[in-house]
Chains A and B, each alone.
Chain A
Amino acid sequence: MIKYISILLFLLITAFTTRESNFLYPTSWPKPNYDFSKNPIEKNKVNLGRVLFYDPILSENNSISCESCHSPYSAFTHIDHALSHGIYDSISTRNSPALMNLAWKKSFMWDGAINNLDMQALAPITHPLEMGSSIKKVVIKLQASKKYGQLYFQAYGDSIPTGEKTLKAISQFLLTLVSANSKYDKVIRGDEQFSPQEKNGYALFQKNCSSCHKEPLFTNDEFANNGLPENPTLKDKGRMHITLDSTDAYKFKIPTLRNIEYTYPYMHDGRFKKLSEVMNHYTSGIIQSKTLAPELKEKIKLTENEKVDLISFLLTLSDKEFVFNSKHTYPIEIISSVAKD
């Protein structure tokens, strides 16, 4: 009897690992937060999600796609723009975040407004300053498309798009955006070595930054007030807009530092163009307030040389293979294999 139970258990366990094994990540990393059992990664669903990601059909007048603000070549953000640009040349109120390693996130957006990756796309699709449409309108357009009829059939065995299938397919593509092959990762694996400058920068990072920008994801996925003065035009109180709790005022999602070289400008409102400005903020620009992160209450002291060393370490977080991965770029090979509309 015990033998049968253990065989059964073994079969169950292997069944789950094979399912999850479609999602690859370094063995030393923590377990992802995304519930893959509800949306197991499958090639055709990833393909559908990738086509949707690059298609301006998601916006009201077919002008803006996800890629408009999340370009693969800048680790899926919008470089040079402090605030993201949307439909009819509108300008939004926050800096578009870089997209990577999303399976580990517990909440999304600078203020954590979104509780599940599946529901994230609804926000830009609907926002009047982003895509200005609605999931209902998008699904109606998709239902009228021959191309998508084929792609949904390949993904789901059913050619009729729904909100659920659309959102889950977008999640599938986003989940595959795993960045884990920077010089830092190679050093950790023992395949490469830091230069003396990078090594010193890593020590400074561990001493001053790593409690919030926790390895290996370089974020603890929490919210914090990092002492930025309030932008008088935007008056953005961050997390407090969601919780309505004044102890959350000026707290924003702690972003990952991976690929930071590609994701300028920095901060929720894109106020800093260069990493040197970020360094100067943390050493001499912190505004004291009730909600300031406790880690920043005491001044961070860095000499000019140390700032340079710290930046040289941050540049080891650049993952060129991620940024130029042809599986993440415009899906010409998928689109050319299905019907034209």
Chain B
Amino acid sequence: MKKHFIILVLVLSHFFSVAQRVNISLNASLDGKELLLDRVVVNSEKDTLLINQLKFYISNIQFLKDDSIVFTELNSYHLIDFEMPASTSLSIKTFRSISYNSIRFYLGIDSLTNVSGALGGELDPTHGMYWTWQSGYINFKMEGQVSRRKEPLKEFQIHLGGYQQPFYSLQEVQLNVHDENINLELNLDPFLHSIDFSNVHHIMSPSKKAVELSEILAKNFKVKKND
């Protein structure tokens, strides 16, 4: 009887404990300013850019305290789509109060998930983030128009993915954080500068270049100080 009572108390306390939430907001910057879709931007090198689609997956979100994991989100797959402002704010329920000083996540979808057949929710292939001619999630998708040094505008499509070696493009990002509200910013400039837009307008399959570009993206997330 006493045993049952203890279990009951434990179960109840679990439900009544304060469900903490960590809010994460994501934005992207282009030429030092916040990215807005469908706006023409001319940078200092006279390149003209118009981005009309920016989507990527953030998965396996974890919080760490001094490099030991204090919380791992279950079923952690988030499609960030800049056309859907709601998708750029994540609210992670941690169920209990946690103390952490860094956040870790994947940019993209891990290999095991990639071979697990049809999945739903954020991973449903109707989101346009799954390749069809070859299996695999598109981890990062950017589409728009570009002109380098006053050449005519040309459409470009960059779809990064690849779940198998040697072109496994999943990237891990880890950043120090101090606040309950985490503002993440992805600086797109180094990524865009490493694409030769005079010659290349389509990257749409797993390759060495796709892995290289994924690495550059992963290195350019930073935590913005709260105002």
Chain A residues packing against B (C-beta within 8 Å): 35, 38-39, 113-119, 122-123, 125-127, 134-136, 139, 162-165, 167-168, 171, 242, 244
How far, in angstroms, from A125 to B124 measured CA to CA in the complex?
A: 15
Knowing A167-B125, A244-B207 are in contact, say whether A116-B117 is a contact too (CB < 8 A): yes
Stretch at the interface among B79-87, B132-140, B141-149: B132-140
- Report yes or no: A162 in contact with B130, Cβ–Cβ below 8 A: no
Instruction: Kindly list chain B residues whose C-beta atoms are within 8 Å of the C-beta of A162.
Output: 120, 124, 126
Instruction: Kindly list chain A residues whose C-beta atoms are within 8 Å of the C-beta of B132.
Output: 122-123, 125-127, 134-135
Instruction: Kindly list chain A residues whose C-beta atoms are within 8 Å of the C-beta of B37.
Output: none
Any chain A CB within 8 A of the CB of B200? Answer: no
- Report yes or no: B117 in contact with A163, Cβ–Cβ below 8 A: no
Which of B125, B126, B128, B207 makes the CB contact (< 8 A) with A119? B125
Which of B117, B126, B133, B134 makes the CB contact (< 8 A) with A118? B117
What are 11 residue pairs bridging A and B, where the CB atoms are less than 8 Å apart in the complex? A38-B116, A113-B133, A116-B118, A118-B118, A122-B125, A135-B132, A164-B118, A164-B123, A167-B118, A167-B125, A168-B118
Knowing A38-B116, A116-B117 are in contact, say whether A164-B135 is a contact too (CB < 8 A): no
Main secondary structure of the interface of A (DSSP, over half): helix
Which of B114, B115, B117 makes the CB contact (< 8 A) with A39? B117
Any chain A CB within 8 A of the CB of B74? Answer: no
- How many chain B residues have a CB neighbour from A under 8 Å? 21
Whole-angstrom distance between the Cβ of B159 and the nearest chain A Cβ: 14
Determine the residue in chain B with the shortest Cβ distance to A119.
B135
Instruction: Kindly list chain A residues whose C-beta atoms are within 8 Å of the C-beta of B133.
Output: 113, 123, 126-127
Whole-angstrom distance between the Cβ of B124 and the nearest chain A Cβ: 4
Which of A35, A114, A127, A134 makes the CB contact (< 8 A) with B135? A114
Chain B CB within 10 Å, residue with most, of A116, A117, A136, A163: A163
- Report yes or no: A139 in contact with B134, Cβ–Cβ below 8 A: no
Instruction: Kindly list chain B residues whose C-beta atoms are within 8 Å of the C-beta of A134.
Output: 128, 132
Closest 6 CB pairs of A and B: A118-B117, A118-B118, A164-B120, A167-B118, A126-B132, A163-B126
Whole-angstrom distance between the Cβ of A124 and the nearest chain B Cβ: 9
Main secondary structure of the interface of B (DSSP, over half): loop
Instruction: Kindly list chain A residues whose C-beta atoms are within 8 Å of the C-beta of B135.
Output: 113-116, 119
Any chain A CB within 8 A of the CB of B119? Answer: yes
Determine the residue in chain A with the shortest Cβ distance to B120.
A164
How far, in angstroms, from A122 to B120 measured CA to CA in the complex?
A: 15
How far, in angstroms, from A261 to B210 measured CA to CA in the complex?
A: 44
Determine the residue in chain B with the shortest Cβ distance to A107.
B135
Which of B115, B119, B125 makes the CB contact (< 8 A) with A135? B125
Chain B CB within 10 Å, residue with most, of A114, A164, A165, A242: A164
Instruction: Kindly list chain A residues whose C-beta atoms are within 8 Å of the C-beta of B130.
Output: 119, 122
Instruction: Kindly list chain B residues whose C-beta atoms are within 8 Å of the C-beta of A35.
Output: 116-117
Knowing A123-B132, A123-B133 are in contact, say whether A139-B117 is a contact too (CB < 8 A): no
Knowing A135-B126, A139-B126, A164-B120 are in contact, say whether A116-B134 is a contact too (CB < 8 A): no
Instruction: Kindly list chain B residues whose C-beta atoms are within 8 Å of the C-beta of A163.
Output: 118, 120, 124-126
Whole-angstrom distance between the Cβ of A300 and the nearest chain B Cβ: 33
How far, in angstroms, from A163 to B134 measured CA to CA in the complex?
A: 17
Determine the residue in chain A with the shortest Cβ distance to B125.
A163
How far, in angstroms, from A171 to B117 measured CA to CA in the complex?
A: 10
- Report yes or no: B134 in contact with A164, Cβ–Cβ below 8 A: no
Instruction: Kindly list chain A residues whose C-beta atoms are within 8 Å of the C-beta of B119.
Output: 164
Determine the residue in chain A with the shortest Cβ distance to B135.
A115
How far, in angstroms, from A242 to B132 measured CA to CA in the complex?
A: 13
How far, in angstroms, from A127 to B133 measured CA to CA in the complex?
A: 7
Chain A CB within 10 Å, residue with most, of B123, B135, B167: B135
- Report yes or no: B124 in contact with A164, Cβ–Cβ below 8 A: yes
Determine the residue in chain A with the shortest Cβ distance to B207.
A244
Chain A CB within 10 Å, residue with most, of B118, B128, B136, B167: B118
Determine the residue in chain B with the shortest Cβ distance to A117.
B117
- Report yes or no: A115 in contact with B115, Cβ–Cβ below 8 A: yes
Apart from A38-B117, A118-B117, 15 more pairs, CB < 8 Å: A38-B116, A39-B117, A39-B118, A114-B134, A123-B133, A125-B132, A134-B128, A135-B126, A135-B132, A162-B120, A163-B126, A168-B117, A171-B118, A242-B134, A244-B207
Instruction: Kindly list chain A residues whose C-beta atoms are within 8 Å of the C-beta of B127.
Output: 136
Whole-angstrom distance between the Cβ of B30 and the nearest chain A Cβ: 28
Determine the residue in chain A with the shortest Cβ distance to B167.
A244
Instruction: Kindly list chain A residues whose C-beta atoms are within 8 Å of the C-beta of B116.
Output: 35, 38, 116
